[in-house]
Structure 1
Amino acid sequence: MAIFRSRAVDAANQAETLDTPLVLLRPQLRQRFNSNLRLWRDLSIPQNSNHQVWTEEQIQHDPTECAAVSLSIILRYHGSYQPISTIRHACGVSRDGSNAANLVCSARTFGMNAKGYKKGLKTLQTVSLPAVVFWNFDHFLVLEGIDEQRFWINDPATGRRCVELEEFDRCYTGVVITMQPDPSFEPTGKAPHAVQQLGAWLKRGSKVKRWGFLLMLGISAGVLSQTTRVLVEPGLWPFIGLALAVVPLGQVLSRELERQLRRELQEQLISLPDWILQQHFSHELAGRLERVSALCEQLRLRIGQSLPLVLGMAVWTVVLLVQNTFLGLIVIGGLSLWTAVKQRNESMNSSRDVRSRISMNSAGLTLQAGLKDPETLKASALEQDLFLRWSGLDAIATRQRQNLSYSRELQDWVPQIVYWSLPVLVWSVASHTANAGLTVIIGTMGLCLALQQLQEMWKAWGASKRAILAIRDLQEQPRDPLLSAGQHQSNIPFETGPASVSVEGVDFGYIPVLPPLIQELSLSVDKGQKIALVGGSGSGKITLARLMAGLVQPNKGVVKINGIPLLEMTQQERSQAIAMLQQGMPLFSATVRDNLTLFNSAISDGEIQAACETAAIWERLQQLPQGLNTTLGVNGQDLSGGEQQRLQLAQVLLQRPSLLILDEATSALEAQTEARIEQAIQGLHCTQIVVAHRLSTVRDADVIIVLDHGKIVQRGCHDALLKEEGSHYCNLLLLEDANL
């Protein structure tokens, strides 16, 4: 605790006082100005350095896919484009991310000679670039260049930036992975550009095509209308009316595009296989839909309205050069200088902006983590410690944000001087030039205003580009093969009642580059049997249950229900035949009735009441304000853990499946209620597969399957397995008794 408090105090002291008098800030401003001059030199990779490369910037869409994106950056550098979903699967990215070993193995599957090293800062210059480095013990990024005091990195989280030796030394963990093409490497071409992807979306659908054509007419009319003051033709006036319609046409186009993309993404989301949903956070996938709205909003408000101005700016440039070449060149040169300075200033501040946002996120996450568990916070009397830690991080973030603001104010002097001096210079020269008229002056002002719009459009395009890539990444995800199984319907009719299960020579692994978790496993379950799957942590019992349920597909072998492969059953047959009840399954934010019937209006109230009474939940439901029509909160927060489990059991009782798979489905129930539920499940007359974490709950099973490292090591009833002294089952029993 003392260490925790001292670090917080040091962080707060390091942040300094934020309301320092202006007189005392003069040395600091001078230091920042000198730092800005160094950043101008440090921004680009030095041309005299022999140890530098330039890779394509690629931003990760999920916090856990930094390893996959780093590999994708290097593959694209060598001319091979692979969808990020394919690389994620190869790297075995989960909600916990990936590791260096998986990254090396997956890189080799794409034809790269990947090797991991432990390198210090002095020996790091000997590695081949680009390379992947392990950063801050929780992140992977690409190293592009090395100098004596600077390092150029391409960070999947924030983009390309230059870091000083001090920061690199603090965050570099010493682990570096080199990747170079081997003889089997085959380039596959470049990744489709965001503009190409946007154009492909605009080509879909007849409405989008029609509105897109009208929008292009409006833009063309907008360009022509810019020249009406110089080239007055009576026939051009009708186009001015079309030019005025470019904005509403752009709005209609963006709305049509938004509807189309949202519909496609909604269909894609519900079609994703279970293993992809397990890899991503639900809020991150749902956020892709919101990116569609943000993208169309940017297209409508920024890019769509700026395009006529930009195209008109090109026309005005030609007009200026025709009217007065000398003044036109002055205007073009001045605006080019202004644009270059503005772009360089923005790039120079990007790394500082990244550090500021990271500090702000750290402060926010610290406060959020402390307030997330108020009981522990109060019971441990950690309020003061939380405040000290949060205030220290917040002070550092505020200081960095203020420093960034000061730097931007200093850097804006040069472009502002250029911007406001250019019209004055043009006016002075035009007053002494014979063929310079009011057209040149108006054209100069028009170009300046249009260029400002171009800057805003460029910033908006950066955000739009990231949104386009995130949406495309979701569209490239593979669909669940079971959803198309109805096209290959088996000729064998599916029988109702208890189902038989056959697992034939199945191999399965979550990470393709690693050995399968389950290898050559075969298992047969007769109709009406109760089979228990037991084993230690990582034995594969839950994975085997998920294979039987069809949530994951085997790499090799087949799973059959009543002799029919899962892939040959229709979706309706599978949903009626198989039910899986897992521990901690969430409830819908809908009415109790909808949660019980799964939106099936054909189920009567009498059937609902009978199932709820069997699951011992009917009396509790009657106490709700509106009974079955009461809307539950998020994840069923209105009910306790035991009540949620009983509600889910009632849902299964209404379904009456042929195969019921249970994974600690009664763990939150007391012994009396659990026994009652067990008796009710027996009355379903279905085949049961029980994943047991407590061996005391499966002693009545017909067959107990003992798994170890994905292999069946024992099978038999409880009494028969007890006779095998020193066996895996006996060891599991001894371990369970010792933990009681």
Structure 2
Amino acid sequence: MGGRQAGARVPFVAQMSEVECGPACLAMVLGAHRHRVPLRELRAEFGVSRDGASARRILEVARAHGLEARGLKVPPDALGAVRKPAIAHWDDHHFVVVEGVGRKGVRVLDPGEGRATVSPAEFRARSSGTLLEFAPGSSFIERRGPRDSWPLRLVRDMMRMAPRWAALAVLLSGVVQLLALGSAFLTKYGIDTLIGERAGTLSGLSLTIAGFVSVYALIGLGRAGALLVLQHRLDGALGDRFMTHLFRLPFGYFQARSSGDLLARLNSNTVIRDLLTSRMVTLVIDSVFVVGYLVLLCAVSPWYALLAAGLGAAQIAIVLATLRPANALAKRELSAEAATQSVAVDALRGAEFVKSAGLVGTVLDRWRGSLGDYLRAALRRRRLDALTDSLTLLLQVASPLVLLLLGVAQVRSGALTIGSMIALNAIAAGLLTPIAGLATSMRYLQTIGAHLERVHDVLDERPEVRRPGITAPAVVRGEIELRGVGFRYGQGPWILRGLTLRVPAGAKLAVVGASGSGKTTMIRLLAGLLRPTEGTVLLDGRPIEEYDVDSLRRRFGIVTQEPHVFGGTIGSNLRLGRGDLPDEALFEALGRAGLLPDVRRMPMGLETHVAEGGSALSGGQRQRLAIARALLADPALLVLDEATSHLDAVTEAEVAGELSALGCTRIVVAHRISTIMDADEIVVLDDGRFTERGGHDDLMLAGGRYAALVHRQLPASLRPS
């Protein structure tokens, strides 16, 4: 393979979800060849799905960016001959970047863990032997990355969300720093004038000090109040921005990320807010006052200025030397923390199953393993922090003593008075204090970069397409049509292909098929949660994309096999923010869903409290609650995806009778034949395609898959011989 081998250090790119190791690895390879591509851009090019990216897809996207790319089967002892950086298939389901081979082992960059050196034995054990090799091709061009730095984004966020309070906090912080100079000049006046020259009065100095302290206290109080209000405003603005954007993202984004991971990203907003209201304000003020103090020192004593600047530069140098490893360790810690949170959320949601199956020990072992990974990552980061803190503390203790030596020498030579020396020491300390603040802020900023990267991975994602000015019509008949619809995740295998059907308004369509045949995916396409890869979904003769997505979904009623129940009361689960719904409407919906007798037997009725997930309700009660909730929306289209599977035959028949009287279009996915026999049309979905369609009697006469399904559900005595 021609071309030069990348000699630059490979820039690390962390994966933002479990399925993004392929795009993250390619981003690192492209970056090593000075072709910077944001991960979100590569994610869109890959079409990353819930199944991740294949080696073939990595090669295809690499070639699209001008790289020559090929896959190799490489024995471990020939690794040194492969062009670097390369991508290795790792642990049977993962990809890592191979940066180089040295005396200590193989240098790899794991997008989920960070940079590491592994022994040849470990590399042989974890690698499948498949490597992807890259080199710049004839069409390859270098590309600079986006110049929009995240510190500037932080400042813009703060000024956009609370401009007045941010400006006031910065102004008052600056005044507080200016007033700090007053103590140095008052000290000089007291020593040189009152003591040395015996001029002035002690009462005058006392009044000046009292006034100075009062003004300082008032302005300090105002600054604290401004920061408090700023913090409050940013708390609301950051959280609202994140959640609003998150729920406008396509459904596929949630399929590729766990709830625990998204919760960790939400919590990162709190860390960012703390930075904005403390470190960012301090950073702006300290930067200004470092220059101001340095100019003042140069004007009074160049020697003091030179020494103080050198001591300050040493503090900055210590922090700069640890920035890169600190950032990598912070990313690794955040990733481990998110994984631990995901394990905990999964365990809590499945508490009933975990306890009933006797898996408490297994789940706790899994959680302890994840927690151990997080604690080890946190310990490594804290060790580096402790080393940096120790070195900077040493400088902070030594700096005043070194300045004192210079001052004493200048006083003994007659270049300074004692008062001037003390004042200069105070001013030099005033210079070193903001420098120390700058150094600390730089450390926090680098650590916070990992939080900001995870938050902006959400904020930079494109939301669902919304057509401005288009709303759902006042009347939706509920006619649904599929025209040549196909769907697949990214470049993966087709899940649905060539689906064409029309469901008239008010009709009932039944969908049957084996598990994995694509029934649930079809339902998600009808609801607009997923967009067809090919073909069109129409509602009342118009493509579904032409409707306002939120208004349209409010006219749909969708009930799944395991519906979600929110923490609260039965009434709040039915209303879901529609406080104007009277109790009579709730009782009517509960009656149609067959849950009203159960609710009436509960002592608190509609005010009965249910935990998140509805753990206090039976499976059948949760399903009927979800059906009642769907009916309250007066749906034009009602979709039932195994929505009565937990009901007994008698209750199911009663609910089906109530739903038949509604007159809305119904699409029913079910295995139980009694639920679908009366459908206007039945379609059999097999391997993503319609293989049979028609009424119950017609399909029975055809003797195909549907007939076989019916025969399996009949008692043996009733089966035809």
- TM bracket (short chain): 0.7 to 0.9
Inter-CA distance 404–599: structure 2 relative to 1 (3 Å threshold): closer
Letter in 1 for 2:152: Q
Match of 1:547 among 507, 525, 529: 525
Aligned to 2:151: 195
Looking at structure 1, the residues matched to 345 and 583 of structure 2 have their Cα atoms a distance apart, in angstroms, of: 43
1:503 matched to 2:486? The reply is: no
| Gaps in structure 2 of 5+ consecutive residues | 190-207
Contact 2:71 2:133 in 1 (8 A): yes
Aligned to 2:236: 259
Looking at structure 2, the residues matched to 400 and 655 of structure 1 have their Cα atoms a distance apart, in angstroms, of: 48
Match of 1:685 among 630, 653, 663: 663
Map 1:154-303; keep pairs closer than 5 Å. Answer: 154-160=109-115, 171-180=126-135, 189-191=144-146, 192-204=148-160, 208-218=162-172, 220-221=174-175, 224-225=178-179, 244=220, 246-303=223-280
Contact 1:265 1:289 in 2 (8 A): yes
Match of 1:480 among 464, 467, 472: 464
Contact 1:534 1:695 in 2 (8 A): no
Contact 2:89 2:127 in 1 (8 A): yes
Match of 1:471 among 451, 455, 461: 455
Looking at structure 2, the residues matched to 386 and 595 of structure 1 have their Cα atoms a distance apart, in angstroms, of: 30
Map 1:131-146; keep pairs closer than 5 Å. Answer: 131-137=86-92, 139-146=94-101
Contact 2:114 2:332 in 1 (8 A): no
Looking at structure 2, the residues matched to 518 and 588 of structure 1 have their Cα atoms a distance apart, in angstroms, of: 32
Inter-CA distance 255–683: structure 2 relative to 1 (3 Å threshold): same
Aligned to 2:80: 125
Aligned to 1:659: 637
Contact 2:264 2:341 in 1 (8 A): no
Map 1:584-663; keep pairs closer than 5 Å. Answer: 584-663=562-641
Looking at structure 2, the residues matched to 369 and 282 of structure 1 have their Cα atoms a distance apart, in angstroms, of: 8
Looking at structure 2, the residues matched to 270 and 349 of structure 1 have their Cα atoms a distance apart, in angstroms, of: 32
Aligned to 2:193: none
Contact 1:52 1:145 in 2 (8 A): no
Letter in 2 for 1:197: R
Looking at structure 2, the residues matched to 406 and 189 of structure 1 have their Cα atoms a distance apart, in angstroms, of: 34
Inter-CA distance 363–621: structure 2 relative to 1 (3 Å threshold): closer
Aligned to 1:424: 401
Inter-CA distance 469–590: structure 2 relative to 1 (3 Å threshold): same
Inter-CA distance 193–152: structure 2 relative to 1 (3 Å threshold): farther
Inter-CA distance 183–540: structure 2 relative to 1 (3 Å threshold): farther
TM-score norm. by structure 1 comes to 0.76
Q: How many residues align?
A: 680
Aligned to 2:201: none
Residue 369 of structure 1 and its aligned partner are, at CA, apart by 8.8
Aligned to 2:439: 455
Looking at structure 1, the residues matched to 364 and 252 of structure 2 have their Cα atoms a distance apart, in angstroms, of: 40
Looking at structure 2, the residues matched to 576 and 404 of structure 1 have their Cα atoms a distance apart, in angstroms, of: 48
1:703 matched to 2:681? The reply is: yes
Looking at structure 1, the residues matched to 335 and 241 of structure 2 have their Cα atoms a distance apart, in angstroms, of: 34
Contact 1:590 1:631 in 2 (8 A): yes
Residue 256 of structure 1 and its aligned partner are, at CA, apart by 3.3
1:669-721 residue CA offsets vs partner (Å, 9 max, x unmatched): 12222222222222222322222345564344332222333322222233333
Letter in 2 for 1:506: V
1:670 matched to 2:648? The reply is: yes
Inter-CA distance 514–193: structure 2 relative to 1 (3 Å threshold): same
Q: Secondary structure at the match of 1:715?
A: strand
Residue 299 of structure 1 and its aligned partner are, at CA, apart by 2.1
Letter in 2 for 1:641: G
Per mean C-alpha deviation after superposition, the further-off stretch among 623-632 and 80-89 is: 80-89
Inter-CA distance 532–175: structure 2 relative to 1 (3 Å threshold): same
TM-score norm. by structure 2 comes to 0.78
Looking at structure 2, the residues matched to 566 and 414 of structure 1 have their Cα atoms a distance apart, in angstroms, of: 63
Residue 355 of structure 1 and its aligned partner are, at CA, apart by 8.8
Looking at structure 1, the residues matched to 613 and 76 of structure 2 have their Cα atoms a distance apart, in angstroms, of: 49
| Gaps in structure 1 of 5+ consecutive residues | 1-49
Inter-CA distance 446–91: structure 2 relative to 1 (3 Å threshold): same
Inter-CA distance 342–556: structure 2 relative to 1 (3 Å threshold): closer
Looking at structure 2, the residues matched to 91 and 174 of structure 1 have their Cα atoms a distance apart, in angstroms, of: 23
Contact 2:72 2:132 in 1 (8 A): yes
Inter-CA distance 631–552: structure 2 relative to 1 (3 Å threshold): same
Aligned to 2:556: 578
Q: Secondary structure at the match of 2:451?
A: helix
- Percent identity of equivalent pairs: 26
Contact 1:60 1:69 in 2 (8 A): yes
Inter-CA distance 83–335: structure 2 relative to 1 (3 Å threshold): closer
Per mean C-alpha deviation after superposition, the further-off stretch among 344-353 and 708-717 is: 344-353
Looking at structure 2, the residues matched to 166 and 440 of structure 1 have their Cα atoms a distance apart, in angstroms, of: 61
Map 1:487-566; keep pairs closer than 5 Å. Answer: 487=470, 494=475, 496=477, 499-511=478-490, 513-514=491-492, 516-566=494-544
Looking at structure 2, the residues matched to 85 and 403 of structure 1 have their Cα atoms a distance apart, in angstroms, of: 29
Residue 666 of structure 1 and its aligned partner are, at CA, apart by 0.8
Looking at structure 2, the residues matched to 100 and 738 of structure 1 have their Cα atoms a distance apart, in angstroms, of: 50
Contact 2:242 2:458 in 1 (8 A): yes
Q: Secondary structure at the match of 1:719?
A: helix
1:249-276 residue CA offsets vs partner (Å, 9 max, x unmatched): 4444444344333333333233223232
Looking at structure 2, the residues matched to 388 and 147 of structure 1 have their Cα atoms a distance apart, in angstroms, of: 36
Looking at structure 2, the residues matched to 572 and 353 of structure 1 have their Cα atoms a distance apart, in angstroms, of: 38
Contact 1:221 1:242 in 2 (8 A): no
1:313 matched to 2:267? The reply is: no
Inter-CA distance 570–305: structure 2 relative to 1 (3 Å threshold): closer
Looking at structure 1, the residues matched to 232 and 337 of structure 2 have their Cα atoms a distance apart, in angstroms, of: 35
Letter in 2 for 1:587: V
Letter in 2 for 1:484: R
Per mean C-alpha deviation after superposition, the further-off stretch among 56-65 and 401-410 is: 401-410
Looking at structure 1, the residues matched to 363 and 568 of structure 2 have their Cα atoms a distance apart, in angstroms, of: 37
1:134-184 residue CA offsets vs partner (Å, 9 max, x unmatched): 444454443434323144444433544555656655654544334555566
Q: Secondary structure at the match of 1:304?
A: helix
Letter in 1 for 2:163: K
Contact 2:170 2:285 in 1 (8 A): no
Residue 643 of structure 1 and its aligned partner are, at CA, apart by 0.6
Q: Secondary structure at the match of 2:693?
A: strand
Q: Secondary structure at the match of 1:280?
A: coil
Aligned to 1:9: none
Residue 57 of structure 1 and its aligned partner are, at CA, apart by 4.0
- What is the CA RMSD across the aligned residues, in angstroms? 4.7
Looking at structure 2, the residues matched to 445 and 108 of structure 1 have their Cα atoms a distance apart, in angstroms, of: 57
Residue 572 of structure 1 and its aligned partner are, at CA, apart by 7.5
Letter in 2 for 1:273: P
Letter in 1 for 2:24: V
Looking at structure 2, the residues matched to 619 and 271 of structure 1 have their Cα atoms a distance apart, in angstroms, of: 38
1:426-461 residue CA offsets vs partner (Å, 9 max, x unmatched): 433443343463345334444444443333312321
Looking at structure 2, the residues matched to 283 and 401 of structure 1 have their Cα atoms a distance apart, in angstroms, of: 18
Contact 1:112 1:181 in 2 (8 A): yes
Looking at structure 2, the residues matched to 411 and 104 of structure 1 have their Cα atoms a distance apart, in angstroms, of: 42
Letter in 2 for 1:266: M
Looking at structure 2, the residues matched to 357 and 470 of structure 1 have their Cα atoms a distance apart, in angstroms, of: 9
Residue 297 of structure 1 and its aligned partner are, at CA, apart by 1.6
1:114-144 residue CA offsets vs partner (Å, 9 max, x unmatched): 4444434433333333333344445444343
Letter in 1 for 2:462: P
